[in-house]
Chains A and B, each alone.
Chain A
């Protein structure tokens, strides 16, 4: 089918200057060390992600301006690396290893089971903000294959069932934590 472009276009509306205010203080401390240094981009991106847990849009806009780089290039570099995220991660970052050792030991089934259980795809987060799911190439823990890493904890010799069980446990743990906070 030949696609005809729209006849009427939504009027372009002036959006305002998103960077009218100075960068927030936490970003300023990151940027002030690298201002004007376009070769420091990846370092800055890492520092921003370490602080915010992901790369917020506004923060990247400030980064482009302060390092003297086009925003399109900043976005291009950031999307090139799987390590960088553009949405806020869940409380539990679940990473499944897809390295050779894990793969032959059935990591594919684990991924399927987790996708079903959490009802999300790779690189997505659950609507309640609890879980994010990722796959990584190798964790360097091949002796424990297949491996699952949640935040900084490594779970070795997993099966689809045990992986799903771990998710249940984390959910309960989270509920208890929440209750404590409320109390």
Chain B
């Protein structure tokens, strides 16, 4: 540490801080326009000049490192004059249209123009950059307003990693430009809006706010984003009940100021005219039961005028809730509790999921409750539970930027978890190695040191070979293995046979690359720069810190659990766990998928992962809930659908899920849903699933409710309502409580349930629900809404004063010793053959989210990617004469879809990628549910055997076949076997 004085204040700081940072940290304000604390030093604006005693010339404080005994003056006559001159020059190239400028009041440039009293320039230059671009619906670029501070260029390069823009030209022709000065939509731009966030002027503005209100007229609400699991906090600015724009803010714990295109611009779905505003009942059912119909709403609700809505009529909440309770009570009486199943939602709050599972377990009395975590990270929960004793991300998101080596496998981080990819980009820019193992060339490969491309389904050979190499070369951490783990010997014996050469044979990844990868990961090597964890000469800790990130490429497999265990083995083998910037980090897909699992919306566990078979845990919740809980684990999502198909499940209650698009083999799901006697769907839109419902309950969206979400790093964060729910839509917890009350009343009539149960559905708000759920959920014991404000807390939170646990397994693993599992590699269930020679792998794209319920109703997001597409390698495309951008038919043993073909090297030969967001061509028509992971019951979305057909070729062939009767069209369909 060193000591210096700034404006006479003695300040002690570390020698690698700049004078500007030190001054700002101590409340000394220095004008600046091109500085940003997250970005590299530019030193271009010359406003932050300071004078250092004993030096002839003023120096920019943003690039000036603190030195011992330095004496700095931030404001002298000379400096003030220089700053005034600089502002004068800036104003000469910036129209002062503050009166009609949307940035008015939040503009750094305006602030300094005011501070130095400059409204007009003394220079007579013409404004040099008269370019205005509004080619995209997200934000506008007004080059007249640009002061060329370059913050947008740096944020795009150093944080986002998209590199869409850079400085072009020079002198008066200098400008921020995309390549060839094209529109942003024709550049590498990912529309995350980080440039808009850091822009100090009105050169970059969200299009949605222009002309709609000035800064001081807006209300600001901070809430948690409802899209992916990163858990970004967003500040929404509203006026007259309308959102004008969303932005990040520095204090947000997971994301800082940065967001992705969905969070920043994808909020307009909430105001869609397609939102459900009244409870709806199937028309025939309403007629059969002579239900009182809300005629007015039925005639005027725009949803009911659509093709899908024609089958429904609107009713009052009273009618709807009574009907629901009646139907469930009838089913209970006739066929028992286990003939009812519920699907909770990974997009509803913890409080709502807690109540939902309580409803299923206490009021109905079944463990048939599950949610879509089954389809994404069930194998993580199971696998990490087996290895460490708790199944969640071990380290916080913010840790990634300090890692020495980041190892990503089976995750398209840049598109599925964009804000986490910014952390990875920052680590790489800091000098970390990035190692990617993925069959697809995902966007982050551009930043990777090493990319291994195994054939889909063969990655387990690569991981085993990495373990083999680590042991062979003695890169393992013997002390960690000795003191913290068990089962090592059997594991070491098992990996002996899996040499890199065998892996090369199976996966096609060169053995040499596997050896490089093993070294990089095990020793935590860096590309350049010093590690934050092993100083160059320190003997105490010889290895850098490596972090594993993975997602559905690992879990959505028939051996998903084993693959997770294999990664856990690698981390324990090298001791890369339980320390900052290490660990195993499953990136969870939905805003509250972690929380929904924590709350026990799973068939085998109560809140806090207490097994339903555990009598003691059951006793605790029974005392709280009043009523017996079944000790028998319930059915999982896929099993429920099978049971519904077999008529063993008679009624289903689905809260905020869309299995008609998200579940494997949706043709089968359709038959299952049609077979139900009662299907109650609670959602914000008339989804593909809701179309089969007998009763639809309109719910509030995440922008309209309070409660908590638990993000992928286990951080429990508080939401705040930004908008009012449309029409008579209610929050999910209100609906579940109402249903609970009514069902209990029904049952007490019929079965004489003691009246002590009545208060169990009485809550004044989500804060009260949190009190109850904290009592029965050990890992949430200390969670209270007031404590969660701001940064939130990472579970486990064992008591009310506990500060949360950002890093898991630091001293010991949750289960005591970490357990090595000796495993054999396994190939995917569905193998290719002559008829279906290609492998289909499904996933997400940046601009859409899951089944598209929200994103496809967002104007901007739908503008960019309005329809589905398949990625196909040129060799496979050439074989059947596909045209880039033309149509293609993908066929599997279960069905077919028609979509756009995008031909390129992103997928290797023999592999087709298709995203699952599209109701017009659901990817899950193609996938199978025939074999599930034996531990986690997760289906294999990542590997299905398919073949491609060219509709154009078929068409042409038919045309030419008529006059000439030439070769049979079958020949075009037939493809040589791989």
Which residues of chain A come closer than 8 Å to B132, judged between CB atoms? 3
* Segment of B564-572, B598-606, B698-706, B900-908 in the binding face: B900-908
A33 within 8 A of B: no
CB–CB B163/A80 < 8 A: no
A129–B437 alpha-carbon span in the complex (Å): 51
Other than the given A73-B163, A80-B168, 6 more pairs (CB < 8 A) read A9-B137, A9-B863, A70-B157, A72-B165, A72-B178, A76-B168
CB–CB B211/A14 < 8 A: no
B166 within 8 A of A: yes
Within 8 A of B (CB), among A58-87: 60-61, 70-76, 79-80, 86
A57 within 8 A of B: yes
Within 8 A of B (CB), among A6-64: 6, 9-12, 14-17, 20, 57, 60-61
B866 within 8 A of A: yes
Nearest A residue to B156 by beta-carbon distance? A72
Which residues of chain B come closer than 8 Å to A183, judged between CB atoms? none
**B869 interface neighbour in A1, A14, A17, A61, Cβ under 8 Å:** A14
A47–B164 alpha-carbon span in the complex (Å): 25
A60–B182 alpha-carbon span in the complex (Å): 14
Given known contacts A17-B903, A76-B167, A76-B168, is B100 in contact with A2 (CB within 8 Å)?
yes
CB–CB A20/B210 < 8 A: no
CB–CB B179/A71 < 8 A: yes
Given known contacts A75-B180, A80-B170, is B863 in contact with A20 (CB within 8 Å)?
no
CB–CB A57/B180 < 8 A: yes
Given known contacts A3-B132, A16-B885, A20-B904, is B188 in contact with A75 (CB within 8 Å)?
no
Within the complex, the shortest CB–CB distance from B493 to chain A, in Å, comes to 41
19 residue pairs of the A-B complex, CB under 8 angstroms, read A1-B100, A2-B100, A2-B211, A3-B142, A5-B134, A9-B135, A9-B137, A12-B864, A15-B885, A16-B884, A17-B904, A70-B163, A71-B163, A72-B163, A72-B165, A72-B166, A73-B163, A74-B179, A79-B168
A71–B164 alpha-carbon span in the complex (Å): 8
Nearest B residue to A61 by beta-carbon distance? B179
- The interface bits of chain B over 159-193 (1 if a CB of A lies within 8 angstroms of the residue's CB, else 0) are 00001111111100000011110000111100000
A21–B459 alpha-carbon span in the complex (Å): 29
Within 8 A of A (CB), among B436-465: none
Given known contacts A14-B902, A75-B179, is B134 in contact with A6 (CB within 8 Å)?
yes
A73–B180 alpha-carbon span in the complex (Å): 11
A71–B177 alpha-carbon span in the complex (Å): 11
A37–B100 alpha-carbon span in the complex (Å): 48
For B, the interface residue count at a CB cutoff of 8 angstroms equals 41
CB–CB B207/A5 < 8 A: yes
CB–CB A11/B885 < 8 A: no
Which residues of chain A come closer than 8 Å to B863, judged between CB atoms? 9, 11-12
A180–B73 alpha-carbon span in the complex (Å): 76
Within the complex, the shortest CB–CB distance from A68 to chain B, in Å, comes to 8
Given known contacts A70-B166, A72-B164, A86-B180, is B140 in contact with A5 (CB within 8 Å)?
yes
CB–CB A11/B866 < 8 A: yes
Which residues of chain A come closer than 8 Å to B142, judged between CB atoms? 3
Which residues of chain A come closer than 8 Å to B168, judged between CB atoms? 75-76, 79-80
Given known contacts A57-B180, A73-B166, is B210 in contact with A2 (CB within 8 Å)?
yes
Within 8 A of A (CB), among B88-130: 100
A72–B885 alpha-carbon span in the complex (Å): 25
A153–B101 alpha-carbon span in the complex (Å): 54
A4 within 8 A of B: yes
B136 within 8 A of A: yes
CB–CB B179/A60 < 8 A: yes
CB–CB B177/A79 < 8 A: yes
A74–B177 alpha-carbon span in the complex (Å): 11
Q: Is the interface of A mostly helix, strand, loop or mixed?
A: loop
Which residues of chain B come closer than 8 Å to A74, judged between CB atoms? 179
B229 within 8 A of A: no
A141–B286 alpha-carbon span in the complex (Å): 95
B342 within 8 A of A: no
Interface size of A as a range? 20 to 34
Within the complex, the shortest CB–CB distance from B24 to chain A, in Å, comes to 30
Which residues of chain A come closer than 8 Å to B865, judged between CB atoms? 12
Which residues of chain B come closer than 8 Å to A70, judged between CB atoms? 157, 163, 166, 188
Which residues of chain A come closer than 8 Å to B902, judged between CB atoms? 14, 16-17
Which residues of chain B come closer than 8 Å to A75, judged between CB atoms? 166, 168, 177-180
**A12 interface neighbour in B177, B185, B900, Cβ under 8 Å:** B185
A2–B210 alpha-carbon span in the complex (Å): 9
Which residues of chain A come closer than 8 Å to B185, judged between CB atoms? 12
Within 8 A of B (CB), among A126-176: none
Nearest B residue to A69 by beta-carbon distance? B163
Which residues of chain A come closer than 8 Å to B864, judged between CB atoms? 12
Nearest B residue to A74 by beta-carbon distance? B179
Within the complex, the shortest CB–CB distance from B885 to chain A, in Å, comes to 5
Given known contacts A14-B902, A73-B163, is B136 in contact with A80 (CB within 8 Å)?
no
CB–CB A72/B179 < 8 A: yes
Which residues of chain B come closer than 8 Å to A2, judged between CB atoms? 100, 210-211
Nearest A residue to B906 by beta-carbon distance? A17
Which residues of chain B come closer than 8 Å to A79, judged between CB atoms? 168-170, 177
B874 within 8 A of A: yes
Nearest A residue to B139 by beta-carbon distance? A5
A17–B863 alpha-carbon span in the complex (Å): 20
CB–CB A14/B163 < 8 A: no
Which residues of chain B come closer than 8 Å to A20, judged between CB atoms? 874, 884, 903-905
A73–B163 alpha-carbon span in the complex (Å): 8
Which residues of chain B come closer than 8 Å to A3, judged between CB atoms? 132, 140, 142, 210
A127–B971 alpha-carbon span in the complex (Å): 51
Within the complex, the shortest CB–CB distance from A164 to chain B, in Å, comes to 28
8 nearest A-B residue pairs (beta carbon): A70-B163, A76-B166, A72-B166, A5-B134, A79-B168, A75-B179, A16-B884, A71-B179
CB–CB B884/A72 < 8 A: no
CB–CB B884/A17 < 8 A: yes
A5–B157 alpha-carbon span in the complex (Å): 27
A72–B874 alpha-carbon span in the complex (Å): 26
Given known contacts A17-B904, A70-B188, A72-B165, is B136 in contact with A9 (CB within 8 Å)?
yes
Which residues of chain B come closer than 8 Å to A16, judged between CB atoms? 884-885, 902-903
Within the complex, the shortest CB–CB distance from A38 to chain B, in Å, comes to 12
Nearest A residue to B189 by beta-carbon distance? A72
CB–CB A72/B187 < 8 A: yes
A17–B187 alpha-carbon span in the complex (Å): 12
Which residues of chain A come closer than 8 Å to B188, judged between CB atoms? 70-72
Which residues of chain A come closer than 8 Å to B903, judged between CB atoms? 16-17, 20
A2–B97 alpha-carbon span in the complex (Å): 9
**A15 interface neighbour in B164, B169, B186, Cβ under 8 Å:** B186
Most buried by B among A4, A12, A72: A72
Within the complex, the shortest CB–CB distance from B892 to chain A, in Å, comes to 24
Which residues of chain B come closer than 8 Å to A57, judged between CB atoms? 180
A11–B902 alpha-carbon span in the complex (Å): 17
A4–B904 alpha-carbon span in the complex (Å): 38
A86–B177 alpha-carbon span in the complex (Å): 15
Within the complex, the shortest CB–CB distance from B166 to chain A, in Å, comes to 4
Which residues of chain A come closer than 8 Å to B179, judged between CB atoms? 60-61, 71-72, 74-75
A181–B865 alpha-carbon span in the complex (Å): 52
Which residues of chain A come closer than 8 Å to B866, judged between CB atoms? 11
CB–CB A14/B900 < 8 A: yes
Nearest A residue to B132 by beta-carbon distance? A3
- The interface bits of chain B over 184-206 (1 if a CB of A lies within 8 angstroms of the residue's CB, else 0) are 01111000000000000000000
Which residues of chain B come closer than 8 Å to A10, judged between CB atoms? 135
- The interface bits of chain B over 131-164 (1 if a CB of A lies within 8 angstroms of the residue's CB, else 0) are 0101111001010000000000000010000011
CB–CB B210/A5 < 8 A: yes
Most buried by B among A4, A16, A73, A75: A75
Within 8 A of B (CB), among A77-104: 79-80, 86
A5–B245 alpha-carbon span in the complex (Å): 15
Nearest B residue to A17 by beta-carbon distance? B904
A9–B168 alpha-carbon span in the complex (Å): 26
Within 8 A of A (CB), among B847-877: 863-866, 869, 874
